[in-house]
Structures are given as C-alpha cells and as structure tokens.
Chain A
C-alpha cells in the first residue's frame, strides 16, 4: 500500500502545483492519473498550444508549463501512479482514506485532493444501438493485447492516427482487416496514410469509404457488422469490431463516491478551503464548482494553495502555523536541497 499525506487524483497543472504548496508545509504527495504521463489536458490534448493568462508568462506552451511545474516540484519528490484510473474510495476507522485504482494499486492518505479536471479520458463510443451488449464480446474500444486478433477477421472504424496505425499493425496479425471511415480522406500522419494505401493496393487491408457501421449482429458474440454506404447497406462478417474515435473526458467513477455533484462537477465550499461534503476530501481546479467558478489554470493554483493550508490543519489540528513567504523561508526539499535568497553582506564602515 502506498502511503502519503495528500493523495492527489489528477496530475494536471493544479494537481502538480499542489505538490509544491504541500511541500512548503512539509507534506508529501502522491498523484494518480489515468493518462500515462503527467500534465493532464495540457500534455494530452494541447501541448503545443500557447497559453496567455498564466501570471508573469506573456505566453507559454501548455507542454512547457507542465515541464516547469515538474521542475518546480522536483525537490518535493512526489510519487506517481500513472496509466491507472482511481476507481474506489474507502474511509478507514482512523479517518484516513484508501483509494484503489483500475489495476488494483492501493493508496492510503489522510487527505484526498481531487484535481481531476474534466475527468478521466475514455474512448468515445459510437451511437450504435446495442453496442454496449457486445463490449468484450467482439467490440473493443482500446487495443490492449493485439494477439487476441491473430487470425481473426477485424473491422476498424475511424479516420485518425489511431485507426490508421492499428490497421497497419493488425494487417500482419489478423486474417483480414477492414478499415471503415465516414470520409474518403484520412487525417492521420502522412506516413501512415501512405502505408495504408500500400497495404490496400497489396490487398492486405480493405478500405470501405465513405461508410459507417450502423448496426451489430451476433447471437452470443459479434459475428457481423452492418455497413451503411451511400443509400445501401451490406453485412460484413467479422470477429472483432474496433471503433477508434479518440478519447473524451468523463467524470467516471468519482461521480459514485458520494460527493455532491452539480453541473457535472464536484460542489465545494469556496468560502473556506475547497472541501467537499466529505471531510478530508477536497476538490480543486476544473473538477469543482461553486458560485462564480471559473475553469482557469490560475484559479486552480489559488485553490490548491488554500486547500493545502486546510489539509495541514486537518492533519495537525493541534499545531499552530502561519503561512511563510518563500522569499523569507526559502524552499527546503525532501531531497535535502535548499533554495533561499542570498544573504546580504554586511560591511562595517571604518
């Protein structure tokens, strides 16, 4: 079991900055994120987009902001559980929480800070009737183990990089690969588009465009997809249907943790400390809501700072503390590093 002082769910900018503010209070942090790298949306969706409203940065790329935050929190040695989604939470008798991820990793902390942004990124599911009943019975939205497609008939839908890349990869594994896209053009990297063209010419991939899968057929498991092409429809026998339409954020399992939810966000007390209706669980950044809420990175930083002060009081109710400026107290890392302002040289005039 991983133990820490503040367990942060979500490694976006707000979650990362929490590590810094907690570190100033000598509190250790561990972060969980469903994505395989830190940075949240900034890394996953728009790393190359400039942000113009980070105080003191007239312009900074989202990816660079994440890099700088990672550098800033380095002295506080945060732990990371990446590529795993926080699934369940349990309160223990000692008033601490245990959060378990999708892969069963357990984390224990007296404070949980949900900095989950828009939620965890999950595959976008096409609106095909009954698709839910074929999930794991021939329909997969993510390819976890390509070997299950060996010598099988596979239909892939989508027009982006993911659909192209997997079609190329599975062309050597599956007995047949059919790629179906609503348009004739594909929007992937040029290399991938050319490779798919080659594989089509050599008969290793069948392209069906412009077309859409509109229905699924099969008794116990998927056996055919029904393809709409122009005004006509035809059936296509297959063992697997893999729709690859990118990822979309969903609040996910957090919505079932007993927290007050409003407008797809977690309600918090913004007059005090961004605590939720469950004492010890806070929500900061884009994932929370309160009167006047703005979903801005700079607001998330502010919320994280206030939240850490409250977390300290909750962990150490009998200790007195006042906030210290870093210009006065410097920054003492858990790694033994210390940053502080250079001491003034005092000279006597003789």
Chain B
C-alpha cells in the first residue's frame, strides 16, 4: 500500500507535510512521534489507549473520519481545550481515505 500525505501543525504553529505509511497499523499519534513533531513525554503518554488525551488534535479538513469509540468520547469529555473538531490522534489510524488530512496538535495540558 502507498504512503499518504498528512499535514501536521505542531504546537509552535509550524506546518509539516509528512508521508505516513498505511500498511503498518500506525495511528496519527504515532506518526507525530515518528517525525518527532512533539517532545517525547508530551504526546502518547498512555501509549495509545485513549486514556490521557495528550495526543488531542484538531482536524482541519472535512475528511470522513471513523466514528468515535466510547473510550475516545469519554476521554474527550474530560479533556481540556476541547473543540468540536477535537479527536485523539491515537484513535485515527492511517488509511488511504485520510490522504490529504490536515490537523493541528492541541496544546499540552
């Protein structure tokens, strides 16, 4: 499977266009970590179990995203700086349908 293009705006406001593989079961949080776009220890703290919201992102494009799981929805209900377009990066897996996705990483809380 081919890589897809993702645009990530980091917490400093810098825009990065990166290639994300779709054949490694990677999620958005892991893509951000693999390109070191947020300091280690400030993102993916719980390891990707939708239990910390450190990977909260704002989705800037109108891609059709997978529905939120109960766990993601519950975590966002308790998280800070939440907006209507908030999602947890760890719950968004890289698929061809996400080609061209643009997100910004929510502030650290």
Residue ranges of A at the interface with B (Cβ–Cβ < 8 Å): 45-46, 49, 118, 124, 126-127, 158-160, 181-183, 185, 187, 245-246, 248-249, 251, 263-265, 289, 295
Contact = CB atoms under 8 A, between A and B. Distances in A.
B82 interface: yes
Interface residues of B, number: 19
Interface string B72-101: 001001101110000000000000000000
Contacts of A124: 78, 80, 109
Contacts of B13: none
Nearest to A251: B41
A66 to B, nearest CB: 17
A249 B51 contact: no
B18 interface: no
Contact of B41 (A159, A181, A182, A264): A264
Contacts of A45: 46, 49, 51
Main secondary structure of the interface of B (DSSP, over half): loop
A187 B52 CA distance: 16
B34 interface: no
A46 B82 contact: no
A127 to B, nearest CB: 5
Contacts of B46: 45
A213 to B, nearest CB: 12
Contact of B49 (A46, A127, A183, A249): A46
A46 B46 CA distance: 10
A126 B74 CA distance: 16
B81 A248 contact: no
Interface of B: 39-42, 45-47, 49, 51-52, 54, 74, 77-78, 80-82, 107, 109
A158 B75 CA distance: 11
Contacts of B54: 248
Contacts of B49: 45-46, 49
Contacts of A49: 49
Contacts of A295: 47
Return the 10 tightest CB-CB contacts between A and B, nearest first. Answer: A264-B41, A263-B40, A187-B74, A127-B80, A245-B78, A159-B77, A183-B77, A263-B41, A126-B80, A45-B51
B38 to A, nearest CB: 11
Contacts of B42: 264
Contacts of B80: 124, 126-127, 245
A118 B45 contact: yes
B40 A265 contact: yes
Given A118-B45, A160-B74, A263-B39, 4 more contacts: A182-B77, A185-B77, A263-B41, A265-B41
A181 B42 CA distance: 26
Contacts of A185: 77
12 contacts: A46-B51, A49-B49, A124-B78, A127-B80, A127-B81, A159-B77, A187-B74, A187-B77, A251-B41, A263-B40, A264-B41, A289-B40
Contacts of B39: 263-264
Contact of B45 (A181, A246, A249): A249
Nearest to B81: A127
Contacts of A158: 78
Nearest to A186: B77
B82 A182 contact: yes
A181 B78 CA distance: 9
Nearest to B51: A45
A295 B45 CA distance: 11
Interface centre among A158, A159, A246, A295 (most CB of B within 10 A): A246
B78 A264 contact: no
